[in-house]
Amino acid sequence: MSADAPDVRLEKARKTFGAVVAVDDIDLAIGRGTIFSLLGPSGCGKTTTLRLIAGFEQPTSGEVFIRGRRVTDVPPYKRDFSMVFQSYALFPHLSVADNVAFGLRMRRVGRADRAAAVKEALALVKLDGFADRFPRQLSGGQQQRVALARAIVVKPAVLLLDEPLGALDKMLREEMQVELRELQQRLGITAVFVTHDQEEALTLSDRVAVMRDGVIEQEGAPRAIYEKPLTEFVAGFLGASNFFDGRIAARDGAAAVVETKGGAVRVAHAAGAVGDQVRLAVRPERVRLLRPGSEGIVAQVRDIVYRGSVTHYYLDGAGGAILAYSQNASPGASAWAVGDAVACAWDAESGVVVTPDRRP
């Protein structure tokens, strides 16, 4: 088994509950030492995927591997993983130290080694001195750290986290994201992280899989997912996107010119022949507003919202609404006023051809 063999592998894994297909023939390979995020809207099958890896659910069909070992029929307690639950599931009848020691006890680690490991794990999550407290005597953030310590102290092959930060407020959540990332890097653990918060997924992960209706729509590094979405759904789910429908008017190698209602735009990469219908996705922060008459899509400013570091422009174009973000790089009033006519332009690299949504 080579060092870069995947730590977790799903092969055509499928899980149905009655008529509901929660996970639909997923293939997945998660490399050693990476944080892998499962991102998607509520009910898309993230938790179920995680529970298939854990063994709390048996796949209807397909296989599960952990560290190259086939574990499809292996019960959870014989699989090499540990888990942080959304509600933490700290044992209320055990102290913090006993909670953290639980996994070691189950692995029959001796008393002295156990105490040392617990102390170390609590230090890692900055909870030295809390060993004798009970879960109900801790704040939400502290409980979260205990859950984390309890999971990492057993040095699992894989750490599974199901929306572990969901119950924390925004400030604490962002702080924990950074700490979690640091800790994972330091320990070199492979982690599978479930979230429906796209920012969290981008901040935290080495790789992100965007799920929808039990299917992985796209998998890749955060930057690739964000900048090169393959589908309209992915482009819309991660951050905001403008969509333009058009027709390929001309081709030049990989590049093309797309004719939209509001005007022609250049696209750096486009498949398809001249005359094909395509849908373009453009991030609002990539849209530049130019004087009318410049090259670009013609639009009119409908509304301006000042957001501190950026200003949001809501524009009406010929093909529909357009959203543009402009960095407030220098002091002073906005360059545009409501009612102004503008031209919207962007780099050829910024317009991405996406598969239109299956649904209307």
Partner 1 sequence: MRRTLWAAALLGPPLAVSLVLFVGPLVYLFHVSLHEASQSELYGPGPTLANYAAILADPFYLTIIKRTLGTAAWILGLALLVGYPVAYFVALLPPRRRALVTLALLFPLMVSNVVRAYGWVAILGRRGVINTSLRDLGVIDAPLDLLFNQEAVVVGLLTILLPYMVISIANTLAALDRRYEEAAQALGAGPLRTFLHVTLPLSTPGVASGLLLVFLLTLSAYVTITLLGGPRSKLLVSLIFDSVVSFQWPLAAALAFTLLAIALALTGLILLVLRPQRVQGRG
Ligand X SMILES: Nc1ncnc2c1ncn2[C@@H]1O[C@H](COP(=O)(O)OP(=O)(O)OP(=O)(O)O)[C@@H](O)[C@H]1O
Residues in CB range of 316: below 8 A, 6 or more apart? 299, 300, 302, 322
State the Cα–Cα distance between residues 256 and 75, nearest whole angstrom. 54
Q: Residue 54 binds what, of ligand X, partner 1, Mg ion, none (CB under 5 to 8 Å, by partner type)?
A: partner 1
Please report how close the Cβ of residue 256 comes to partner 1 at its closest, in angstroms. 51
- Between residues 82 and 195, which has the closer beta carbon with respect to partner 1? 82
The count of residues interacting with ligand X (CB under 6 A) is: 12
At 12, list the tokens. Answer: 């055509």
Closest residue to ligand X in the complex (CB): 47
Please report how close the Cβ of residue 346 comes to Mg ion at its closest, in angstroms. 36
Helix (H, G, I), strand (E, B) or coil at 123: helix
State the Cα–Cα distance between residues 63 and 9, nearest whole angstrom. 8
CA distances to 201, 287, 307 from 239, rounded to whole Å, are 12, 14, 16
Please report how close the Cβ of residue 21 comes to ligand X at its closest, in angstroms. 8
Please report how close the Cβ of residue 105 comes to partner 1 at its closest, in angstroms. 8
Chain contacts with partner 1 (rule: CB under 8 A)? 54, 56, 75-78, 81-83, 85, 87-93, 99, 102-103, 105-107, 134-136, 143, 150-151, 154, 160
* Binding residue (CB under 5 A) for Mg ion from 34, 37, 47, 260: 47
- Among 9-17, 46-54, 207-215, 243-251, which window interacts with Mg ion (CB under 5 A)? 46-54
Q: Residue 83 binds what, of partner 1, Mg ion, ligand X, none (CB under 5 to 8 Å, by partner type)?
A: partner 1
Dihedral, CA of residue 140, residue 145, residue 151 and residue 153, to nearest 10: -150
- Between residues 202 and 211, which has the closer beta carbon with respect to ligand X? 211
- b/e sequence 34-65, b meaning 16+ C-beta within 10 Å: bbbbbbbeeebbbbbbbbbbbbebebeebebb
Q: Residue 202 binds what, of partner 1, ligand X, Mg ion, none (CB under 5 to 8 Å, by partner type)?
A: none
Q: Residue 56 binds what, of Mg ion, ligand X, partner 1, none (CB under 5 to 8 Å, by partner type)?
A: partner 1
State the Cα–Cα distance between residues 132 and 125, nearest whole angstrom. 15
Nearest residue to 312 (alpha-carbon basis) of 325, 299, 301, 297: 325
Could you give the strand order of the β-sheet that contains 255-260, starting from the edge strand earlier in sequence?
263-267, 255-260, 242-252, 277-282, 352-354
Please report how close the Cβ of residue 322 comes to partner 1 at its closest, in angstroms. 46
Residue type, 32: R
State the Cα–Cα distance between residues 253 and 310, nearest whole angstrom. 36
State the Cα–Cα distance between residues 160 and 30, nearest whole angstrom. 12
Please report how close the Cβ of residue 197 comes to partner 1 at its closest, in angstroms. 21
Please report how close the Cβ of residue 89 comes to partner 1 at its closest, in angstroms. 4
State the Cα–Cα distance between residues 112 and 173, nearest whole angstrom. 34
Please report how close the Cβ of residue 130 comes to partner 1 at its closest, in angstroms. 13
Nearest residue to 45 (alpha-carbon basis) of 243, 188, 214: 214
Site string for ligand X, 176-215 (x = CB under 6 A): --------------------x-------------------
Site string for ligand X, 39-68 (x = CB under 6 A): -x-xxxxxxx--------------------
37 makes contact with Mg ion (CB under 5 A): no
Residues in CB range of 182: below 8 A, 6 or more apart? none
Residues of this chain that bind ligand X (CB under 6 A): 17, 20, 22, 40, 42-48, 196
Residues of this chain that bind Mg ion (CB under 5 A): 47
